Chain A
Amino acid sequence: MKKQKLVMIGNGMAGVRTIEELLKLDPELYDITIFGSEPHPNYNRILLSPVLAGEQTLEQIVLNDLDWYKSNGIHLHLGKTIIKIDRKERTVTADDGTVESYDRLLLATGSLPFILPVPGNDLPGVIAYRDIKDTNEMIDVATRYKNAVVIGGGLLGLEAANGLALRGMSVTVVHLAEWLMERQLDKTAADLLKNSLEAKGLKFLLQTSTEALIPNAAGDRVGHIRFKDGLEIPADLVVMAAGIKPNTALAESAGLHCQRGIVVNDTLQTFDPRVYAVGECASHRGTAYGLVAPLFEQAKVCANHLAEHGIGRYEGSVTSTKLKVTGVDLFSAGNFMGGEGTEEITLADPIGGIYKKLVLKDDRLIGACMFGDTADSTWYFKLMRDAQSVAEIRDTLMFGESNIGDVGHQGHNKAAGMTDADEVCGCNGVSKGTIVKAIREQGLFTLDEVKKCTKASSSCGSCTGLVEQVLMNVLGTDYSATPRKKSICGCSDFSHDEIRQAIRSGHLISQEQVRSELGWRTPNGCATCRPALNYYLISTWPHEAKDDPQSRFINERAHANIQKDGTYSVIPRMFGGLTTPSELRRIADVAEKYQVPTVKVTGGQRIDLLGIKKDDLPAVWKELDMPSGHAYGKSIRTVKTCVGDEHCRFGTQSSMKMGVDLERMLFGMYAPHKVKLAVSGCPRNCAEAGIKDVGIIGVESGWELYIGGNGGIKTEVAEFLCKVKTDEEVREYSGAFLQLYREEAWYLDRTVHYLARVGMEYIKQKVVDDADSRKALYERLLFDLKDAPDPWKDFERAGVDIRQFKTIPIVEVGNA
């Protein structure tokens, strides 16, 4: 079949990103041609400011070099501007006469700077600030002239002014509005910004409008600028940074509907369905975006449709702003000005140069404006995009995300304050400098890209917030935040929630059904989605959906914990941390017989045999003759107990018995992540119940239940759920909570993450207040766990493929 022809007009970031996404989905579908007016391949326009400021070179900001176009078979026409689109004949014509036909056309014409209609605006020395050419001219002028005037005190204007000042020019910023960046900042923050930029040597003329640009004495370039109030100042260079407008002239001439941008629908199609538009030229639901993050979201959706996958819609973006001026920290997002029906929380320390304002409406954060301390900006931005209720954390909201308990990065929680040598990711040994370098040189925009290329935050994830901050600091406004809806993995665009819903409502019981129903891009998923799907299926339809061991991580397939040298660790179960002399004797015998190199007491009150060869596992299990400890699974791990009232002089309750009962009840329970419980017999809490998924503390009059604790990556103290009287109630309430978590949490979320997502009120309502709901949850848990097989003993029922424990020797010759 002959390939369809795709022509793209414009060779900038949004357009090329669309092509990249398309090539990922289907590299063979189209014969692709790109026309670009500039003589350069696609480069990172965001980083023009660091280039101007002398922090980076032009070569470093190229995103796709010419080899990229070549190796993907793209016909590239540089330095050619398309002047005509014939939609009837489906051709485009360039200014040099080149004609190209298309089946699909992608408009990515970007935007044009707004040039003030004043006399003298065409003089040499009057430029905009949009591309490499402008940047080079500014760098050149700075070596020969003294006085620069920047018209426009917005983001772009201030970055230009800062760069020119760093290159030694005397810079005045002229701004029409009452304060700087009036579309991103309130007056208080803007005044602080102005003070700090004045301290760097910039001069400002606010509420000032330009009347004319006047030639110099020789008449060969601009020499002065005159304002409406009569003031005149010298200007060897005038940079127009008073805004941009979507570049729609070509689209309009082709009869496409435009209204402050080329109007597109949620699939980025214009009124002619063969013609798509993305980027700054497109107007979606009345908004033309000028920042990279939303444009990349558009690119993804557009590529999806070009590839004829037909899923995914672009529904608009929440955007944020960050100024890329070294040493100035400011951030704003959403509705930061407030207004009717909104409430504001502010913190102002004008002397210390810190100002924070949060705007709330209906218990949700809808805007933020910060100056001087923006460490928590990523967190606020996330709260806004997720539209999460902040009612429960309102009293501490202003103080930011508590980082207490985070480990692995020397206690840092503010990326801006770290040196390049400081370690951000303690798991993989990645320093801040390495991340910054990768972002700049490899053109990274998202957390996922940083994870892939540097490995930072790809292991335990505790430094994710720091990495996002580094991204935001380097890319400023254009940091592409983690999308609101996170798809499960690269195989699908559906989120965990949507997949769980589909499995439940469609009564899907196999992975093949899920993948075909939801249009998976890969034949059998990947190592990320397969374990998740398997869990969702067996937890939603217990005893009905069939467990697929090949979709489980090796530990849950071999029922032991893989070690770095490929051997395994074996931890037999000791209910409630209790054991017997005969068990200990068998453990000792096994350890000797199989020459177990390390025998260790675990934190969960049992014994770990480390360094066992895989082929020995079945024999080891048999000789131990103890139940599997499931120490390897996303499953019930242990119920840690203290001695309790049987022996302890302070004990008020039988914590050992309670622990054993709970652990027996939960035997074989798989969950979104590991689950740990503890039972203490009195408030001295020797079993450390405060950092467990379910912590139970005996008091004289009964038991207190705590949930959502965590002693791992990020220490989290469990929250009080309720108090009950009887042992049976302890089992019912904690069982109901665990079942709720099992049914609703996303795969790999611990209870603390689930709790943070749905809120304590919701859980109390389902588990404590509503007795019917609690009983139903508890019954579903018991039904699921009925006759749970022991994978160390009942291979057949537990689905253990024992062939894996037999290495195949090569039998010599003659076996043909």
Chain B
Amino acid sequence: MPNSSSTQNWQKVTTVDEIPVLGSRIIQAVVGQIAVFRNSEDEVFAVLDKCPHKGGPLSQGIVHGKSVTCPLHSWNIDLSTGCAIAPDEGCAKSFEVKVESGVVWLNRQELDTSHG
């Protein structure tokens, strides 16, 4: 777990309350749009909002367990890794998330690097 005091390495993006349960919000970052998900256990995940299949917006999918189903062709993506669940193959970039006192932080370094 990252050191919570080093705020210069972390970017505040939203609060957990602002993300619907079993839903998502979209963050506009330099690397592209990042989908931030919240599941029924209030766990928060961040994945590039592009399905590895045909680039569908994962943020718009149905969230269940620790996965999301892409709205375009129903690929299931594991939110903790960004990777498609077998038999489908491929990964969307996933981002490190930190939640502290209901605030959601993303790793600034990952946001600035423009690969992905």
Q: Which of A168-176, A258-266, A309-317, A801-809 contacts B (4 or more CB under 8 A)?
A: A801-809
**Size range of the chain B interface in the assembly:** 35 or more
| Contacting residue for B64 out of A526, A564, A815, CB 8 A | A526
Nearest-Cβ distance from residue B113 to partner chain A, whole angstroms: 14
Ordered by A's residue number, 6 sampled pairs between the chains whose C-beta atoms are within 8 Å are: A453-B87, A526-B65, A526-B69, A527-B76, A564-B56, A807-B27
**Bound state CA distance, A554 and B49, in angstroms?**
15
Residues of chain B within 8 A (CB-CB) of A525 are 64
Q: What residue of chain B has the Cβ atom nearest to residue A458's Cβ?
A: B74
Q: What sequence of 0s and 1s flags, for each residue 12-34 of chain B, a beta carbon within 8 Å of any chain A beta carbon?
A: 11100010111101111100010
Residues of chain A within 8 A (CB-CB) of B39 are 524
**Is A530's CB under 8 angstroms from B60's CB?**
no
Residues of chain B within 8 A (CB-CB) of A815 are 12
**Bound state CA distance, A728 and B54, in angstroms?**
49
**Is B23's CB under 8 angstroms from A807's CB?**
no
Residues of chain A within 8 A (CB-CB) of B27 are 807-808, 810
**Bound state CA distance, A808 and B12, in angstroms?**
11
Q: Is A523 an interface residue (CB 8 A)?
A: yes
Instruction: In the A-B complex, list the 8 residue pairs whose CB atoms are closest, starting with the nearest.
Output: A527-B69, A554-B60, A527-B62, A566-B57, A816-B7, A550-B22, A554-B71, A807-B26
Nearest-Cβ distance from residue B48 to partner chain A, whole angstroms: 13
Q: What residue of chain B has the Cβ atom nearest to residue A455's Cβ?
A: B73
| Contacting residue for B63 out of A459, A522, A550, A803, CB 8 A | A550
Q: What sequence of 0s and 1s flags, for each residue 516-533 of chain A, a beta carbon within 8 Å of any chain B beta carbon?
A: 000000111111001100
Interface hub of A459, A524, A557 (most chain B Cβ within 10 A): A524
**Is B12's CB under 8 angstroms from A807's CB?**
no
Q: What residue of chain A has the Cβ atom nearest to residue B74's Cβ?
A: A527
Q: Is B109 an interface residue (CB 8 A)?
A: no
Given contacts A524-B40, A557-B60, 16 further A-B contacts (CB under 8 A): A523-B65, A524-B22, A524-B64, A527-B62, A527-B69, A527-B76, A554-B60, A558-B60, A803-B25, A806-B25, A807-B33, A808-B26, A810-B11, A810-B28, A811-B12, A816-B12
The A-contacting residues of B in range 47-86, CB under 8 angstroms, are: 54-57, 60-65, 69, 71-74, 76
**Bound state CA distance, A406 and B69, in angstroms?**
29
**Is A803's CB under 8 angstroms from B18's CB?**
yes
Residues of chain A within 8 A (CB-CB) of B64 are 522-527, 530
The A-contacting residues of B in range 68-112, CB under 8 angstroms, are: 69, 71-74, 76, 87, 111
Chain B residues within 8 Å of A, Cβ to Cβ: 7, 10-14, 18, 20-23, 25-29, 33, 39-41, 54-57, 60-65, 69, 71-74, 76, 87, 111
Q: Is A551 an interface residue (CB 8 A)?
A: yes
Nearest-Cβ distance from residue A529 to partner chain B, whole angstroms: 9
Q: What residue of chain A has the Cβ atom nearest to residue B86's Cβ?
A: A452
Residues of chain B within 8 A (CB-CB) of A562 are 57, 60, 71-72
Contact of A810 with B22 at beta-carbon distance under 8 Å, contacts A522-B64, A566-B57 already known: no
**Is B23's CB under 8 angstroms from A550's CB?**
yes
Nearest-Cβ distance from residue A527 to partner chain B, whole angstroms: 3
Q: Is A379 an interface residue (CB 8 A)?
A: no
Q: Is A204 an interface residue (CB 8 A)?
A: no
Contact of A564 with B72 at beta-carbon distance under 8 Å, contacts A453-B87, A807-B26, A816-B7 already known: yes
| Contacting residue for B29 out of A527, A553, A810, CB 8 A | A810
Q: What sequence of 0s and 1s flags, for each residue 592-611 of chain A, a beta carbon within 8 Å of any chain B beta carbon?
A: 00000000000000000000
Residues of chain A within 8 A (CB-CB) of B40 are 523-524
**Bound state CA distance, A809 and B12, in angstroms?**
11
Chain A residues within 8 Å of B, Cβ to Cβ: 452-453, 458-459, 522-527, 530-531, 550-551, 553-554, 557-558, 562, 564, 566, 801, 803-804, 806-811, 815-816
| Contacting residue for B25 out of A530, A550, A808, CB 8 A | A808
**Is A801's CB under 8 angstroms from B20's CB?**
yes
**Bound state CA distance, A804 and B23, in angstroms?**
9
Q: What residue of chain B has the Cβ atom nearest to residue A552's Cβ?
A: B62
| Contacting residue for A452 out of B57, B73, B87, CB 8 A | B87
**Is B23's CB under 8 angstroms from A801's CB?**
yes
**Bound state CA distance, A527 and B76, in angstroms?**
9
**Is B87's CB under 8 angstroms from A810's CB?**
no
Residues of chain B within 8 A (CB-CB) of A551 are 22, 62
**Bound state CA distance, A558 and B40, in angstroms?**
21
Nearest-Cβ distance from residue B46 to partner chain A, whole angstroms: 12
**Bound state CA distance, A526 and B64, in angstroms?**
6
**Bound state CA distance, A531 and B22, in angstroms?**
13
**Is B28's CB under 8 angstroms from A808's CB?**
yes
Residues of chain A within 8 A (CB-CB) of B55 are 566
**Is A564's CB under 8 angstroms from B74's CB?**
no
**Bound state CA distance, A810 and B26, in angstroms?**
10
**Bound state CA distance, A566 and B12, in angstroms?**
26
Nearest-Cβ distance from residue B89 to partner chain A, whole angstroms: 12
Q: What residue of chain A has the Cβ atom nearest to residue B50's Cβ?
A: A566
Q: What residue of chain A has the Cβ atom nearest to residue B27's Cβ?
A: A808
**Bound state CA distance, A526 and B85, in angstroms?**
13
**Bound state CA distance, A458 and B13, in angstroms?**
38
**Bound state CA distance, A111 and B23, in angstroms?**
52
Residues of chain B within 8 A (CB-CB) of A524 are 22, 39-40, 64-65
| Contacting residue for A566 out of B7, B60, B62, CB 8 A | B60
**Bound state CA distance, A546 and B63, in angstroms?**
19
Interface hub of A550, A553, A815 (most chain B Cβ within 10 A): A550
**Is B20's CB under 8 angstroms from A810's CB?**
no
**Is B13's CB under 8 angstroms from A810's CB?**
yes
**Bound state CA distance, A564 and B25, in angstroms?**
19
Interface hub of B10, B11, B22, B62 (most chain A Cβ within 10 A): B62
**Bound state CA distance, A808 and B73, in angstroms?**
26
Nearest-Cβ distance from residue A204 to partner chain B, whole angstroms: 45
**Bound state CA distance, A479 and B55, in angstroms?**
36
Residues of chain A within 8 A (CB-CB) of B22 are 524, 550-551
**Bound state CA distance, A485 and B91, in angstroms?**
35
Interface hub of A558, A566, A804 (most chain B Cβ within 10 A): A566
Residues of chain B within 8 A (CB-CB) of A558 are 60
Nearest-Cβ distance from residue A502 to partner chain B, whole angstroms: 21
**Bound state CA distance, A808 and B103, in angstroms?**
14
Residues of chain A within 8 A (CB-CB) of B62 are 526-527, 530-531, 550-551, 553-554
Residues of chain A within 8 A (CB-CB) of B111 are 810
Nearest-Cβ distance from residue A441 to partner chain B, whole angstroms: 13
